[in-house]
């Protein structure tokens, strides 16, 4: 079996799907690995570091794909790249079916098979393959550090001869993996941290990190697989009204609320931002999926009424070495699950294989993706 690792070319993407140390684990399972030259450079991994682990280096995109049984990427192929991809190939990546429908349609035309990490079932057996969680860990960490750099205040309390400096007040909206990492990082920096989530079950995790869980007089919004469900307009309006007081008290707001396959819920209105103190910072981790803050713009830092609003775009790539290290482990575990005696043999009776498959031999395999494509016509 040959696993081909391709260089990422999408804007802002610096990660690589496989790092040298993880390559050894796959080779021990009888898998040959071919890497497109330079694929790991932006993550800090030279071609030589792969060669030392027995990985073959291909000097071009086309030669890297020659003979591939499986292609590992971080993000989907671009339209131009797909023109050179052989028919009937198989890829695994963060495919984000809701965001790349046109690419999926093109993959259909090439009879491709595709697996998406976003569609992995939320079961304990799949935790080691959970790329969404591993990359969200990076995002939460980077978001907090970015806020600390942009805030014109100290995060921790300081007691000095010139007087006592109070700690910054941080409010994290959404206590999933990214939110919990943001909380943990802000606490390590010494900030006073509060957090809110529409899932009451998140309260214990928030408290275990030393933060205060904010309780609002609202019904639970627990969805399938531990995610929040899509909220009604009435719920969001009431939530915003109750949240305004909390927002006004804080120097830093980090929003992380996302619903798979749906636009991000609007948590932070323009009026709420205008109620914050001058110099405050908002980091919107959901900016690429519509934004939790109605003022945020993906990939941009804007200022409104004295408040900086940072619109996130591909945050894990801002820490590409460790983001790649974690993602590579996820890739290896999923590849090994679909490998038997050194051959690529995905078992579609396995709920992980079945659940993560978007395309099978050019046919839409995932029902949610099928509906999205039908709705787009």
Contact 342, 29 (CB under 8 A): yes
Both tokens of residue 261? Answer: 């396959």
Q: Which of 290, 193, 285 is nearest to 236 (CA)?
A: 290
C-alpha closest to that of 119 among 373, 377, 368: 368
Residues, the chain: 377
The residues that bridge with 360 in the sheet, in sequence order, are: 363
2-119+323-364 and 137-318 have identical folds: yes
Residue-level pLDDT at 228: 52
Residues classed as catalytic:
122, 127, 130, 133, 227
Confidence of residue 137 (pLDDT cuts 50, 70, 90): very high
CA 105 vs CA 83, 114, 281, 328: distances in Å: 13, 12, 40, 27
The domain locations on the chain are: 2-119+323-364, 137-318
Residue 288: CA atoms inside 13 Å, Cβ hemisphere, count? 14
The partner residues of 159 in beta bridges, in order of sequence, read 164
User: Average pLDDT over the chain, rounded to whole?
Assistant: 92
- pLDDT at residue 10 in the model: 94
What is the per-residue pLDDT for 321?
A: 98
- The residue-averaged pLDDT of 230-251 equals 79
232 — pLDDT class (breaks 50, 70, 90): low
Distance CA 101, CA 80 (A): 15
Q: Which residues contact 268 (CB under 8 A, 6 or more apart)?
A: 173, 240, 243, 247, 253, 255, 282, 284, 292, 293, 294, 295
- Cα dihedral sign, 161-163-164-166: negative
Q: Is the pLDDT of residue 67 over 90?
A: yes
Instruction: Point out which residues pair with 34 in neighbouring strands.
Output: 4, 56
Question: Does the domain formed by 2-119+323-364 have CATH 3.40.50.720?
Answer: yes
**91-105, 271-285, 307-321: range with lowest mean pLDDT:** 91-105
So what's the pLDDT on residue 222?
Answer: 53
Give residue 66's pLDDT.
Answer: 95
Residues whose CB falls within 8 Å of the CB of residue 82, separated by 6 or more in sequence, listed in order: 103, 106, 107, 110
Let me know the angle formed at the C-alpha of 45 by 44 and 51, rounded to the nearest 5 degrees.
Answer: 165
> For the domain 137-318, what is the CATH superfamily, name and number?
NAD(P)-binding Rossmann-like Domain (3.40.50.720)
What is the average per-residue pLDDT within 113-136? 95
Average pLDDT (274-282) is 96
Evaluate whether 186 touches 153 at the Cβ level (below 8 Å).
no
């Amino acid at each position: 079996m040959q696993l081909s690792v391709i260089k990422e070319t999408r804007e802002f993407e610096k990660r690589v799907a496989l790092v040298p140390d993880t390559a050894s684990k796959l080779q021990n399972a009888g898998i040959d690995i071919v890497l497109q030259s330079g694929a790991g450079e932006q993550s800090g991994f030279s071609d030589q570091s792969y060669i030392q682990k027995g990985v073959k280096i291909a000097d071009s995109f086309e030669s890297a794909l020659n003979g591939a049984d499986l292609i590992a990427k971080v993000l989907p192929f671009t339209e131009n790249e797909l023109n050179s991809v052989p028919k009937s190939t198989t890829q695994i990546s963060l495919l984000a079916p809701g965001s790349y429908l046109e690419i999926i349609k093109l993959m259909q035309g090439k009879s491709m098979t595709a697996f998406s990490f976003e569609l992995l079932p939320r079961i304990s057996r799949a935790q080691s393959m959970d790329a969404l969680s591993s990359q969200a860990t990076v995002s939460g960490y980077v978001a907090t550090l970015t806020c600390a750099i942009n805030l014109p205040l100290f995060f921790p309390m300081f007691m000095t001869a010139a007087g006592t400096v109070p700690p910054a007040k941080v409010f994290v909206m959404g206590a999933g993996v990214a939110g919990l990492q943001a909380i943990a990082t802000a606490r390590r920096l010494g900030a006073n941290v509060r957090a809110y989530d529409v899932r009451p079950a998140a309260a214990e995790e928030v408290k275990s990190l030393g933060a205060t869980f904010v309780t609002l007089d609202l019904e639970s919004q627990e969805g399938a697989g531990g995610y929040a469900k899509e909220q009604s307009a009435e719920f969001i309006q009431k939530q915003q009204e109750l949240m305004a007081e909390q927002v006004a008290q804080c120097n830093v707001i980090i929003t992380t609320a996302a619903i798979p396959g749906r636009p991000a819920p609007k948590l932070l209105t323009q009026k709420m931002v205008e109620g914050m103190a001058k110099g405050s910072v908002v980091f919107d981790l959901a900016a690429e999926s519509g934004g939790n803050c109605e003022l945020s713009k993906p990939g941009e830092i804007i200022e409104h009424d004295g408040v900086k609003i940072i619109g996130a775009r591909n945050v894990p790539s801002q820490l590409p070495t460790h983001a790649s290290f974690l993602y590579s482990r996820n890739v290896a575990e999923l590849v090994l699950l679909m490998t038997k005696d050194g051959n690529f043999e995905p078992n579609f009776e396995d709920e992980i294989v079945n659940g993560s498959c978007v395309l099978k031999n050019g046919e839409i395999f995932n029902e949610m993706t099928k509906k999205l494509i039908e709705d787009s016509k």
